C-alpha cells in the first residue's frame, strides 16, 4: 500500500512538472517564467560555469563552518546552562528574548560589523543555528532519565564521571535533533546573507539573472540550491534517526 503511495507521489510530481512545462510555454512570458526543460538545461550550464561553481562552493564552505561553530558554541553554552538550574532560570529569559528578535532585521547590522564577505555569512548562519542547539541540549539534559544518574551515583561515579559517562551520552539523541534543526537554520542564515550581499557569491548571480530577465538561469540556480538544501536535510534526518536507535520503542 505504501508502494502505491510512493508511485502516486511520483505521479503527482510528474503531473506538476508537466503542467509547469505546458503552462510556461503556452502562457508564460519568457521574460518571467521558464519551463522545466529549459531550467534543466540552464542548470547543467550553471554547474559547468566556473564562476557559479566557485560561488556555490564558497556558500557551502560558509555553511559547514557556520554549522560547526553553531554546534560547538551551542554545546558550550547549553551544557552548563542545563546542569545548573540557577543559571538556567536566570539566563533563559534573556536567551528567549534574543531568540524572539526576527533575525533578518539585524542582517544589515551584521553587514556593517562584519563587512561584505564570508564572515558575515558565517556569523549570520551561526546565530540562526545556535539557538536550536542550545534549546535542544538544555531540554535533553533536563530529560535525562534520573534512574541512570542514581545508578551511576550508587556505583560510585564522581561528578566528572557522571557528566562524561552519563550526561553526555544521554544527550546525543537530543543533540542530533538540535543539529537537524540547526542545519536548516544555518542554511537559512547563510542563504539570506548570500542573497542580501549582491556584490559577490550567490546573491550576485541571483541579482544578475533577475535583472537580465533570465528566468531559466534563475530557476536553475534555485533548483540547485533547493537540491542542496533537501540533501543536507535528509542527511541530518538519517543521522538523527541512527543516533536515536538505542531509545526504546
Partner 1 sequence: MQVACIVAFFGAWQIGSSSGYLDPLIVPSLSAIAVAFAALLHGGALWSDAGVTLYELAIAFALAAGAALSAGFVISRSALAVRVFDPLLAGLYAVPTILLFPSYLLFFGIGPPSKIALGATMAFFPIVLATIAGFAHVAPLRLRAARSMGASELQLFWYVLLPEAFPIVLAGLRMGLVLGFLAILGGETLTSNAGLGHQIVTAAESLDPPKMFAYIVVAVGLAVALNAVTSYVEQRARNTTA
Partner 2 sequence: MGGISVRGVTQAFGASDDARRVTALEDATLEIPAGELMCLIGPSGCGKSSLLDIIAGLAKPVAGSVTIDGEPVRAPLPKRVSFVFQENALFPWLTVEENVLAALAFQGVPKAERRARAGEAIAAVGLDAFRTYHPRQLSGGMKQRAQLARAFSLQTEILLMDEPFAALDEQTRLLLGEDLSVLLARTHKTIVFVTHSLVEAVFLADRVAVFTARPGRVKTVLTVDEPHPRTQAFMTSAKLAGLRNELYELLYDEVRKTMETGAVA
Q: Note the residues at the interface with partner 1 (CB under 8 A).
A: 1-2, 4-5, 8-9, 12-13, 32-33, 86, 89-94, 97, 100-102, 104-109, 111-113, 184, 187-188, 191-192, 195-196, 206-207, 209-210, 213, 215, 218-219, 221-222, 225-226, 229-230, 233
Output the smallest distance, CB 179 to partner 2, in A. Answer: 17
152 binds partner 2 (CB under 8 A): yes
Q: 97 or 155: whose CB is closer to partner 1?
A: 97
Output the smallest distance, CB 169 to partner 2, in A. Answer: 5
Give the CA radius of gyration of the chain: 23
Can you give the three-state secondary structure of the chain, one letter per residue?
A: CHHHHHHHHHHHHHHHHHHHHHHHHHCCCCCCCCCHHHHHHHHHHHHCCHHHHHHHHHHHHHHHHHHHHHHHHHHHHHHHHHHCHHHHHHHHHHHHHHHHCCHHHHHHHHHHHHCCCHHHHHHHHHHHHHHHHHHHHHHHHHCCCHHHHHHHHHCCCCHHHHHHHHHHHHHHHHHHHHHHHHHHHHHHHHHHHHHHCCCCHHHHHHHHHHHCCCHHHHHHHHHHHHHHHHHHHHHHHHHHHHHCCCCCC
144 binds partner 2 (CB under 8 A): no
6 binds partner 2 (CB under 8 A): no
Among 147, 160, 199, 211, binds partner 2 (CB under 8 A): 147
Among 55, 132, 166, 175, binds partner 2 (CB under 8 A): 166
**Nearest 5°: phi and psi at 142?**
-70, -20
151 binds partner 2 (CB under 8 A): yes
> What residue 148 binds from partner 1, partner 2, none (CB within 5 to 8 A, per partner kind)?
partner 2
Output the smallest distance, CB 36 to partner 1, in A. Answer: 13
Output the smallest distance, CB 174 to partner 1, in A. Answer: 20
Q: Which three cell numbers stand for residue 43?
A: 542548470
Q: 176 or 209: whose CB is closer to partner 2?
A: 176
Q: How far is CA 76 from CA 133, 200, 236, in A?
A: 10, 33, 21
169 binds partner 2 (CB under 8 A): yes
Output the smallest distance, CB 149 to partner 2, in A. Answer: 10
User: How many CB atoms neighbour CB 129 within 10 A?
Assistant: 31
> What residue 156 binds from partner 1, partner 2, none (CB within 5 to 8 A, per partner kind)?
partner 2
Among 21, 40, 64, 153, binds partner 2 (CB under 8 A): 153
| Residues at the contact surface with partner 2, assessed by CB under 8 A | 147-148, 150-157, 161, 165-166, 169-170, 172, 246-248
Amino acid at each position: 500500500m505504501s508502494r502505491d503511495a510512493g508511485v502516486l507521489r511520483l505521479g503527482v510530481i510528474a503531473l506538476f512538472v508537466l503542467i509547469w512545462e505546458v503552462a510556461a510555454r503556452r502562457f508564460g512570458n519568457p521574460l518571467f517564467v521558464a519551463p522545466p526543460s529549459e531550467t534543466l538545461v540552464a542548470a547543467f550550464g550553471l554547474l559547468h560555469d566556473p564562476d557559479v561553481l566557485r560561488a556555490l562552493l564558497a556558500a557551502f564552505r560558509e555553511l559547514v563552518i557556520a554549522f560547526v561553530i553553531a554546534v560547538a558554541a551551542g554545546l558550550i553554552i547549553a551544557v552548563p546552562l542545563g546542569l545548573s538550574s540557577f543559571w538556567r532560570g536566570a539566563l533563559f529569559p534573556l536567551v528567549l528574548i534574543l531568540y524572539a528578535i526576527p533575525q533578518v532585521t539585524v542582517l544589515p547590522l551584521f553587514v556593517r560589523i562584519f563587512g561584505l564577505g564570508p564572515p558575515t555569512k558565517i556569523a549570520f548562519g551561526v546565530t540562526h543555528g545556535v539557538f536550536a542547539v542550545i534549546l535542544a541540549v538544555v531540554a535533553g539534559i533536563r530529560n535525562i532519565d534520573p534512574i541512570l544518574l542514581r545508578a551511576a551515583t550508587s556505583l560510585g561515579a564522581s561528578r566528572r564521571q557522571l557528566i562524561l559517562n552519563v550526561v553526555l551520552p544521554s544527550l546525543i539523541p537530543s543533540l542530533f535533533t538540535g543539529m537537524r534543526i540547526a542545519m536548516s537554520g544555518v542554511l537559512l542564515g547563510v542563504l539570506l546573507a548570500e542573497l542580501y550581499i549582491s556584490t559577490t557569491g550567490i546573491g550576485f548571480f541571483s541579482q544578475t539573472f533577475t535583472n537580465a530577465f533570465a528566468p531559466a538561469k534563475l530557476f536553475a540556480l534555485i533548483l540547485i540550491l533547493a537540491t542542496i538544501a533537501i540533501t543536507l536535510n535528509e542527511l541530518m534526518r538519517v543521522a538523527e534517526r541512527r543516533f536515536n536507535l538505542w531509545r526504546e520503542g
